[in-house]
């Protein structure tokens, strides 16, 4: 499944500054805070000068740590994200590129998808990726997002977070992104590929594709017609090979919305068509796609396949 990239590269993203960076102690910070309170009470009770000093020093670390944790996020700019199209039911992996506009190396950053309205539990288990960016450098982090259905899948809001350097404070910010990726229908269905010769409805332009114009062999893949298998080489106990034929030897298949009627609902019919597109591409067919209000002429190759899949993905969207 090759590149169908939906990307909006934009220069309007600003580096993170103090208006957009949040900071708060995390649960380890609260634990330390509690301990500091106990240490302070102890120091007061025993009037222990060094106890006071230590308590105030660690409390000072806490406050100084705030500046450093903020600094570890400030100046990071969201650049763009790229993702390859996926089928429904898979996860789209957005490769998110961030830029460090500051002169400080950013350590221990975490990034992940963070849509609004996540439940507590979802927040806790949200997938995060750890990365770092060197001074004035860029880095790319994968953000996987589950694609439940066909259509456009938006990357949506991202959260970038760090608790560097002390692990007791969490500093975070949101990137509102505008990228989306196309999600194809889930390839599914048990109808056989409607060969033109079987259908015998006059669409086929050559009645019997020539098998004479043999050009080379390639390894057998599921979906290849049995007729094309090179039985001679198979007899020599080599892997199953398929004969490939020159352009003139093409077969054609018309993938029609109408023929999928038995599949039932729209999504199921799109799934069947999607599966056919993949089978046709794999089987070296010339194929055309007929959808209500959209038809794609005969063709072959990845670009053609993606065009068909895109049409299926965006049907009635």
Partner 1 sequence: MKHEEIRTVHVAWLIVTLVLALLPHIDRFPLALSFGFVALTLWRLLGAMKRAPLPGPDHKILWGIKQFIAVFAFVAIYIAYRGQLGRDAGVELLAALLALKILEMRGERDYYIVAFLCYFLLVTNFFYSQTIKTAAFMLAVVILITTVLVQFTARHSSMPTRTHFFKAGQLTAQAVPLMVIAFLLFPRIPGPLWGIPQDAFSGVSGLSEELSLGSIVRLTLIDEVAFRAEFHGDEPRARELYWRGPVLTHTDGRTWRKSPDVRENPPPAKVAGRPYSYTVMLEPHKTRWLFGLDIISNANGQGRITSDYQLMSRRPVQKRASYTIVSHTDFVIDHLTESQRQENLMIPVRSHPRAKALSETWRKKFSSDRDIITAALNMYRGENFIYSLTPPPLLGDTIDAFLFDTQQGFCEHFAASFVVLMRAAGIPARIVTGYQGGERNTVSDFLVIRQRDAHAWAEVYLEDAGWTRVDPTGAVAPGRVSTGIEQLLPSRQRVRRSGNSTVGSAFLRLRDTFEAITYSWNQWVLGYSPAQQRRVLDDLGLEKWNYGTLLIALTLVCASFMLLLAMLVLSERRRYSDDIVNIYAKFQKKLAKIGLNREPSETPRAFCDRVVQSRSDLAREVREITRMYEHLRYGTARLRLSLLKSRVAAFKPVPAKN
Residues that bind partner 1 (CB under 8 A): 27-28, 31-32, 35, 38-39, 41-61, 63-65, 67-68, 70-71, 74, 99, 102-104, 107-108, 130, 132, 134-137, 163-168
Q: Closest Cα partner for 135 from 109, 107, 162, 103?
A: 103
**Are the C-beta atoms of 185 and 88 separated by less than 8 Å?**
yes
Tell me how far, at minimum, the Cβ of 199 lies from partner 1, in Å: 54
Closest separation in Å from C-beta 156 to partner 1 = 25
Least Cβ distance, residue 5 to partner 1 (angstroms) = 23
Least Cβ distance, residue 6 to partner 1 (angstroms): 26
Asked if 132 and 162 touch (Cβ cutoff 8 Å), the reply is no
Cβ proximity to partner 1: between 30 and 211 the closer is 30
Query: Considering beta carbons, is residue 167 or 299 the nearer one to partner 1?
Result: 167
Distance CA 44, CA 46 (A): 6
Q: Which is nearer to partner 1, 139 or 277 (CB)?
A: 139
Q: Which residue's CB is nearer to partner 1, number 89 or number 142?
A: 142
Q: How many residues does the chain have?
A: 317
**In terms of CB distance, is 162 or 259 closer to partner 1?**
162
For residues 142 and 223, which CB has a smaller minimum distance to partner 1 in the complex?
142
- C-alpha–C-alpha distance, residues 301 and 286, integer Å: 9
φ and ψ at 227, to 5 degrees?
Answer: -60, -30
Pick the closest to residue 146 from 127, 118, 124 (CA basis): 127
What is the maximal distance between C-alpha atoms in the chain? 102
Minimum CB separation of residue 102 from partner 1 in Å reads: 6
Which residue is associated with the tokens 């298949």? 253
In the complex, the smallest distance separating the C-beta of residue 132 from partner 1, rounded to whole angstroms, is 5
195: which DSSP letter?
A: B
Cα separation, 208 vs 242, in Å, equals: 18
Smallest separation (angstroms) from partner 1 to the CB of 123: 15
CB closer to partner 1 out of 85 and 141: 141
Determine the Cα–Cα distance for residues 53 and 31; give it in Å rounded to an integer: 20
Helix (H, G, I), strand (E, B) or coil at 28: helix
Structure-token match 């009635």, residue found? 316
């Amino acid at each position: 499944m090759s590149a169908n990239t939906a990307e909006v590269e934009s220069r309007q993203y600003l580096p993170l500054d103090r208006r957009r960076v949040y900071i708060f102690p995390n649960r380890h910070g609260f634990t330390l805070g509690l301990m500091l309170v106990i240490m302070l009470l102890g120091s007061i009770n025993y009037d222990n000068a060094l106890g006071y000093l230590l308590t105030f020093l660690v409390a000072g670390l806490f406050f100084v740590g705030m500046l450093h944790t903020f600094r570890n996020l400030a100046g990071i700019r969201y650049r763009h994200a790229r993702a390859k199209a996926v089928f429904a039911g898979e996860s789209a992996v957005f490769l998110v590129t961030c830029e460090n506009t500051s002169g400080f190396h950013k350590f221990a950053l975490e990034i992940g998808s963070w849509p609004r309205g996540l439940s507590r539990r979802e927040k806790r288990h949200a997938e995060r990726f750890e990365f770092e960016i060197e001074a004035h450098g860029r880095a790319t982090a994968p953000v996987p997002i589950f694609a439940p259905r066909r259509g456009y899948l938006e990357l949506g809001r991202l959260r970038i977070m760090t608790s560097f350097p002390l692990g007791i404070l969490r500093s975070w910010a949101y990137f509102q992104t505008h990228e989306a990726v196309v999600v194809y229908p889930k390839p599914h269905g048990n109808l056989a590929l409607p060969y033109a010769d079987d259908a015998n409805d006059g669409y086929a332009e050559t009645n019997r594709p020539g098998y004479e114009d043999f050009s080379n062999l390639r390894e057998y893949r599921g979906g290849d017609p049995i007729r094309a298998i090179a039985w001679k080489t198979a007899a020599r106990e080599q892997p199953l090979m398929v004969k490939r034929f020159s352009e003139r030897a093409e077969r054609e298949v018309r993938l029609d919305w109408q023929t999928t009627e038995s599949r039932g609902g729209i999504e199921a019919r799109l799934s069947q068509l999607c599966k056919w597109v993949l089978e046709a591409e794999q089987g070296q067919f010339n194929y055309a796609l007929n959808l209500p209000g959209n038809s794609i002429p005969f063709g072959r190759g990845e670009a053609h396949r993606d065009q068909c899949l895109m049409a299926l993905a965006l049907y009635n969207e």
